[in-house]
């Protein structure tokens, strides 16, 4: 064989070798990532049930210090949280040393300060578990149990972007009124034999108070994020106009996602994928009210989208508001890790996991069976939506690898 032919043959063999190696490495990386997703899922399932226990045997830190140290730009709490039961026990039982009206917003809430100086947001019970909220998807009062359920769903999905929430019973007469500010105290009243309050908020009315059962009120408490992590509010790009007859651009423009991808902070970094994750999360819980969202300040798009204020959910188990999934079906992209986790949760696993996660909450049962069944049904719709995207654009385009380092992190 002539020298020139040998050189050409060697060059061809070299090209084949390089392509084979790249292909194998790529597949090894992908399968390794999938295996890690599977291991993470099994770790989550193993630690799913959180028993509220008072002791922190291995540390001298307070529950509040531990929870504050957990917060980083991309998660509110870490994957492994052996102290979670103690922190939630403290949230559910620590003495209330001050009570005030809630921070600004449209719905009734109270701001409580617990022993040790920790702020929590208290949302009172307004509905029984089997009450169905009719009307628009965002109709009705906040549902305190929805905050509890949404937090545990955040754990199950592996997002870790929702503040800690636990159910709590408070005695309004002995625990709240003695430490209440004048502003909060002025909103207390009696309805029959029940102690009630209506607080201060955009929709708060004396004619629509939240009432205890006697003096004891059921509610949820959400752990306040550390003050060292100030929040920044953003308008959700797929938010509603809330004006009759006026559509938002995403409701009529089929190419809307392309426009979003050209604007900051969605043109780089993880924020657009966070929006997609959030649309899945909100669809599963039936929350069509996320017209704004929060991230940490001065993050240049690197912060997570924080899953705050999830109480306008679990109102109607029959709700199938597909428009919540608009970011997913218009952009047709989703994180590989999210896609893997959703597939692990099908065939009834999600319902079982959610029920197990909430079993030890003080206000258990947190959700009625129709709501648990609805979450499983909605999961099938999410999976079907992704399949439509992959059928149209291919797996490589739709499934986005989210483990690569981001340049601005």
Annotated binding-site residues for ATP read 107, 123, 222-225, 294, 309
SS3 state of residue 264: coil
The residues, ordered by sequence, that sit 6+ positions from 57 with a Cβ below 8 Å of its Cβ are none
Annotated catalytic residue 289: yes
The residues, ordered by sequence, that sit 6+ positions from 40 with a Cβ below 8 Å of its Cβ are 79, 158
């924080």: which residue's tokens? 306
The residues, ordered by sequence, that sit 6+ positions from 35 with a Cβ below 8 Å of its Cβ are none
- Closest C-alpha among 215, 225, 196, 220 to residue 123: 220
What is the β-pairing status of strands 210-211 and 216-223? unpaired
Sheet hosting strand 118-124, strand order edge to edge: 96-101, 110-114, 118-124, 216-223, 165-171
């509010």: which residue's tokens? 233
Instruction: Work out the burial of residue 26: count CB atoms within 10 Å of its CB; fewer than 13 is exposed, 13-18 middle, 19 or more buried.
Output: exposed
Binding region: 107, 123, 142, 222-225, 294, 309
Catalytic: which of 289, 373, 391, 396? 289
Please report which helix (H) or strand (E) contains residue 30, including its range: helix 3-46
Instruction: Give the Cα separation of 398 and 66 in Å (integer).
Output: 38
CB 144, CB 366: distance < 8 Å: no
Binding region for Mn(2+): 142, 309
Instruction: Enumerate the H helices of 47-61 as residue ranges.
Output: none
- For every residue of 289-306, DSSP letters joined together read --SEEEEETT-TT-S--B
Instruction: Give the Cα separation of 23 and 32 in Å (integer).
Output: 14
CB 243, CB 190: distance < 8 Å: no
| Tokens linked to 322 | 């597909």
Instruction: Give the Cα separation of 99 and 71 in Å (integer).
Output: 25
| Tokens linked to 226 | 């550390």
Q: In sequence order, what are the beta bridge partners of 369?
A: none
| Tokens linked to 229 | 């992590």
| Tokens linked to 109 | 């809430």
Active site residues: 289
């Amino acid at each position: 064989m002539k020298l020139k032919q040998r050189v050409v043959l060697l060059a061809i063999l070299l090209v084949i070798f390089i392509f084979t190696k790249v292909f194998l490495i790529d597949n090894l990386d992908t399968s390794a990532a999938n295996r890690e997703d599977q291991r993470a899922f099994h770790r989550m399932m193993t630690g799913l049930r959180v028993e509220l226990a008072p002791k922190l045997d291995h540390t001298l830190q307070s529950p509040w210090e531990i929870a504050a140290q957990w917060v980083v730009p991309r998660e509110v709490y870490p994957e492994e949280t052996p102290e979670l039961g103690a922190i939630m026990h403290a949230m559910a039982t620590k003495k209330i040393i001050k009570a005030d009206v809630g921070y600004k917003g449209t719905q009734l809430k109270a701001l409580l300060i617990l022993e040790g100086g920790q702020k929590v947001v208290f949302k009172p019970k307004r509905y029984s578990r089997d009450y169905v909220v009719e009307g628009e998807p965002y109709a009705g009062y906040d549902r305190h149990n929805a905050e509890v359920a949404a937090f545990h769903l955040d754990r199950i999905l592996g997002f870790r972007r929702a503040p800690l929430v636990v159910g709590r019973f408070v005695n309004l007469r002995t625990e709240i009124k003695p430490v209440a500010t004048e502003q909060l105290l002025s909103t207390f009243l009696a309805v029959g034999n029940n102690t009630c309050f209506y607080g201060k908020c955009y929709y708060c009315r004396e004619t629509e108070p939240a009432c205890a059962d006697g003096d004891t009120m059921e509610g949820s408490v959400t752990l306040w994020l550390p003050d060292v992590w100030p929040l920044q509010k953003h308008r959700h790009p797929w938010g509603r106009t809330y004006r009759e007859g006026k559509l938002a651009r995403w409701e009529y423009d089929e190419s809307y996602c392309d426009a979003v991808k050209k604007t900051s902070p969605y043109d780089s970094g993880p924020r657009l994928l966070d929006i997609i994750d959030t649309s899945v999360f909100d669809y599963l819980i039936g929350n069509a009210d996320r017209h704004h969202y929060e991230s940490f300040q001065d993050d240049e798009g690197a912060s997570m989208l924080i899953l705050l204020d999830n109480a306008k959910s679990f109102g109607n188990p029959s709700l199938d508001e597909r428009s919540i999934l608009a970011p997913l079906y218009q952009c047709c992209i989703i994180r590989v890790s999210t896609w893997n986790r959703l597939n692990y949760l099908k065939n009834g696993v999600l319902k079982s996991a959610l029920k197990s996660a909430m079993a030890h909450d003080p206000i258990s049962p947190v959700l009625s069976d129709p709501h648990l069944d609805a979450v499983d049904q909605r999961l099938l719709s999410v999976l079907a939506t992704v399949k439509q995207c992959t059928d149209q654009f291919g797996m490589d385009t739709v499934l986005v690898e989210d483990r690569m380092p981001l340049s601005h992190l």
